[in-house]
Amino acid sequence: MRLTRIEIEGFGTLQGMDLHFGPAMNLVVGPNEAGKSTLQEAIVTGLYGLESGDRRSAIVERTDRWRPWEGGGFGLAATSTPTRFGSSTSPTARS
């Protein structure tokens, strides 16, 4: 599987982003507090969802942690290209 795109409606400090990834290594650089770690968490959430364990409280905690700082909609979608089966998009819940 290769991540080809992530669309971020609202996730922590990130809003209104549409990033396309190349076939080789992609490098994210920026100053402190620019959102690099938030982008990494958004990618993981886009691929695997917000659920981390069986506890409902863990899901609520993660949702609250990554709620958009400026308000507005919460949501993202990751598009990946598996090697044999074409591309797929994994939308997460939007609020």
Domain ranges of the chain: 2-91
In CATH terms, the superfamily for domain 2-91 is: P-loop containing nucleotide triphosphate hydrolases (3.40.50.300)
Distance CA 4, CA 77 (A): 11
Backbone angles phi, psi at 75, to 5 degrees: 175, 155
pLDDT in tens, 6-56: 999 888 888 899 999 998 899 999 999 999 999 998 888 887 777 655 566
Distance CA 91, CA 81 (A): 15
| DSSP β-bridge partners for residue 3 | 80
Q: How many CB atoms lie within 10 A of CB 60?
A: 11
The model's pTM is 0.72
pLDDT in tens, 71-83: 777 788 888 887 6
Give the position of tokens 């958009």: 68
